[in-house]
Amino acid sequence: MVNKINTCVFISGNGSNLKSIIINSRDYNFPINIRLVISNNKNAAGLKIAKKHSIPCKFFSSKNKKLFERNCLFELKKNNIKFLCLAGFMKVLSNNFIKSFGSKIVNIHPSLLPNYKGLNTHKRVLKNKEKYSGCTVHFVTPKLDSGKIILQKKIIIDRNETENSLQKKILRLEHILYPISIISIFR
Ligand code: GRF
């Protein structure tokens, strides 16, 4: 078995990407093991997914960002976490946090970065009558959705595409892209 890297996933919501990473991490050759899940939303459905898979999880409010980051750094250290995945985590991490953690942090974003950083990507993509959209896994820096791109997947936007259909289509793609991006980082 490969020596799996202790990993934490930060979430804020549904956790469908978390689920995909957990399932993939069960594979003998997958490079990481999810040891911890942290949510800044105590009602995040993703917390139930973590519990169902017997993965320790924590909720910390991020109303006070400094305190949130301090709590997270304590847990990351305590659990010997060496890799951090953001999966639908709706908060920008500070430079100080990124430096203090000191290991790789990655994120998934539902657009073809560097286009459409930030929120409401699908709405803006449709408004601009784009022909393509997709998703991107990238390293996290203090600048929102701007770190080095690891992998991207592209889809064609249909003529009758709605925000909802586009979101579903891209989310399905994310569930494939995130695990293969993690493999590519540690290959
Ligand atoms: C995904 O579209 C992700 O790219 C974005 O937020 C959504 C989270 O979905 N950052 P889930 O919580 O993983 O289901």
User: What is residue 7's predicted lDDT score, i.e. its pLDDT?
Assistant: 98
Cis ω on the peptide bond leading into residue 56 (within 30° of 0)?
Answer: no
Which residue has the CA at smallest separation from atom 2 of ligand 1? 110
Residue 99: pLDDT band with limits 50, 70, 90: very high
Catalytic (active site) residue 53:
no
pLDDT for residue 2 is more than 90: no
pLDDT for residue 41 is more than 90: yes
What percentage of the chain carries pLDDT values higher than 70?
99
What pTM, to 2 d.p., does this model score? 0.97
pLDDT for residue 1 is more than 70: no
Q: Which pairing describes strands 32-39 and 149-156: parallel, antiparallel, or unpaired?
A: unpaired
**Mean pLDDT value across residues 55-73:** 98
pLDDT for residue 178 is more than 70: yes
For the Cβ of 15 lying below 6 angstroms from any atom of ligand 1, the answer is yes
Residue 94: pLDDT band with limits 50, 70, 90: very high
For the Cβ of 134 lying below 6 angstroms from any atom of ligand 1, the answer is no
Which residue has the CA at smallest separation from atom 8 of ligand 1? 88
Q: How far is the CA of 88 from the centre of ligand 1 (A)?
A: 4
User: What is residue 15's predicted lDDT score, i.e. its pLDDT?
Assistant: 98
Which residues have CB under 8 Å from 177's CB, separation 6+?
108, 135, 137, 151, 152, 153
